[in-house]
Amino acid sequence: MTEKFFDENGNEVEFEIVGKFEIDNKAYAVLESLDGQSTYILRIKEDKDGEYLEGIGDAELKEAIEAYEELTEKGNENGFKH
């Protein structure tokens, strides 16, 4: 699944969702640009129209990165890919 966003220069950049995970009942998506240059973690929110992605603050981002790294490390040890 891919998502399209616009960078700071107004250029369209396409991202692939490479992983999803939850922390404390909050869902997150890990997005990687198709050129492999950028990776982002965004919160998955839901409203009456369905799911959408939302940016997160620095403290929450740090927690999400740590959780994702732990999950992928454990997954890699068990032969899983994220």
State phi, psi for 73 to the nearest 5 degrees.
-65, -45
Quote the pLDDT of residue 7.
79
Lowest-confidence segment of 5-14, 24-33, 58-67, 70-79 by average pLDDT: 70-79
Q: What's residue 80's pLDDT?
A: 42
Distance CA(24)–CA(17), nearest Å, equals: 21
What DSSP character marks residue 10? S
Alpha-carbon 1 to chain mean position = 12
pLDDT-based confidence at residue 46 (cuts at 50, 70, 90)? very high
Helices (H), 1-82: 58-77
Determine whether 6 is exposed, middle or buried from the number of CB atoms within 10 Å of its CB (0-12, 13-18, 19+): exposed
State pLDDT tens for residues 48-62: 999 999 999 999 999
